[in-house]
Homo-oligomer: A and B are copies of this chain.
Amino acid sequence: MAVDLGTTSHAELIQQARQGNRAALARLISKIERRSLDTEELISALFSHTGTAKVWGFTGPPGAGKSTAVDQVIHILRARGHSVAVVAIDPSSPFTGGAILGDRIRMQQHASDSGVYIRSLATRGRHGGLSHATKEVVMALDATGFDFILVETAGVGQTELDILKLAHTVCVLLVPESGDSIQVMKAGLMEIADVFAVNKADRPEADKLVRELMLMIGLAENKSRRGYTPPVLKMEAVRSQGVEALVDACLSHGKHILESGLLAEKQTEFLAEEVFDVLSEQLRISFAASMTSASGQELLKELLAKRLSPYQVANALSGRLA
């Protein structure tokens, strides 16, 4: 394995980050984002330190007030003496824009608090989901010793489904205006949400949305939850109302999954998926190398001439890619 010659070694960097050195942590995360050859060594070195952080996901449609709510959650967790890291997923989609500016403002607000670390990540996954790097950044924050990692997704595309692959507890934020669009997304929401929070609850339609959600939850018996029923909370994040209850509901869900064995199952699933992500990344690299080789170029020629199908070329390659 290559070692970062001339600079601090991975082991030292991890050690420094774990001792609270934010510059070291920032360097670790940048290394993970860049996907260099030594990512493998870095993650392997980090990995043994992981497993203690609680990972909460926050998702919901654009405009639901996720950033404000997450900000309030930070304050509450800090007041209770916990350290908090935030990963804000910045969508690469050209039609949605990003939260970058907002995050800079937030980072300034917490800049003097050494117990808070906020980082924006672009979704660089091939299909716009949470990228492999995102999961590894969460690992790095976990290994660094943060008590809580809050992952805030943009609520567009598929990131809100992918949040299930890294968060222990998922909080879905809605606003009264979301009501009309809920009909089409019932099934998906029921699968995702461990806690529902109706933000901007001072608006007239809020109670109606709460009732609809409760009805949906009542109808959707979900055995995989082992007796847990997602609560529906009312909130006004801008006025700091209802956010303590949200934090308590997330903690309560955490207790449930720990005691019911669901947490252990989730952790197993997440780690197996991480192994698959590593294999996928390796496949992409070896595929690119293989296609530029002489024999790869020959196969491509046969493919273009339609003498071989994509499956036949894949089968011919898979021996070579091993």
Q: When the two chains form the complex, which single residue of B43, B158, B159, B303 contacts A271, counting CB atoms closer than 8 Å?
A: B303
The CA-CA distance from A52 to B304 in the complex, in Å, is 13
* Contact in complex: A287, B279 (CB < 8 Å): yes
Q: Which residues of B lie under 8 Å from residue A20 when comparing CB positions?
A: none
**Distance in Å: Cβ of A290 to nearest Cβ of chain B:** 10
Q: Which residues of B lie under 8 Å from residue A318 when comparing CB positions?
A: 279, 282, 322
**Distance in Å: Cβ of A299 to nearest Cβ of chain B:** 8
The CA-CA distance from A167 to B304 in the complex, in Å, is 17
The CA-CA distance from A192 to B43 in the complex, in Å, is 35
* Contact in complex: B95, A310 (CB < 8 Å): no
Greatest chain B CB density within 10 A among A157, A183, A282 is at A157
* Contact in complex: B283, A279 (CB < 8 Å): yes
**Distance in Å: Cβ of A164 to nearest Cβ of chain B:** 11
Q: When the two chains form the complex, which single residue of B91, B160, B271, B287 contacts A310, counting CB atoms closer than 8 Å?
A: B271
Residue of B nearest to A101 (CB): B184
User: What is the count of identical protomers in the complex?
Assistant: 2
Count class of interface residues, chain A: 35 or more
The CA-CA distance from A268 to B274 in the complex, in Å, is 31
Q: Which residues of B lie under 8 Å from residue A60 when comparing CB positions?
A: 95
Q: Which residues of B lie under 8 Å from residue A319 when comparing CB positions?
A: 322
**Which of A104-112, A121-129, A220-228 lies at the binding interface?**
A121-129
With known contacts A127-B129, A129-B127, A287-B279, A92–B268 Cβ distance under 8 A:
no
**Distance in Å: Cβ of A255 to nearest Cβ of chain B:** 21
* Contact in complex: A268, B129 (CB < 8 Å): no
Q: When the two chains form the complex, which single residue of B40, B187, B272 contacts A94, counting CB atoms closer than 8 Å?
A: B187
The CA-CA distance from A113 to B92 in the complex, in Å, is 39
**Distance in Å: Cβ of A293 to nearest Cβ of chain B:** 13
The CA-CA distance from A44 to B311 in the complex, in Å, is 7
Q: Which residues of B lie under 8 Å from residue A277 when comparing CB positions?
A: 310
The CA-CA distance from A272 to B109 in the complex, in Å, is 48
A202 at interface (Cβ–Cβ under 8 A)?
no
Q: Apart from A94-B160, A94-B192, what are 8 other A-B pairs with CB-CB below 8 Å?
A: A92-B161, A94-B161, A95-B160, A268-B300, A271-B304, A275-B317, A279-B287, A283-B283
24 CB-based A-B contacts, threshold 8 Å? A40-B311, A43-B310, A43-B311, A47-B306, A47-B309, A51-B306, A60-B95, A94-B189, A94-B192, A95-B155, A96-B185, A123-B158, A126-B127, A127-B130, A127-B162, A271-B304, A275-B303, A276-B287, A277-B310, A279-B317, A279-B321, A282-B314, A283-B283, A318-B322
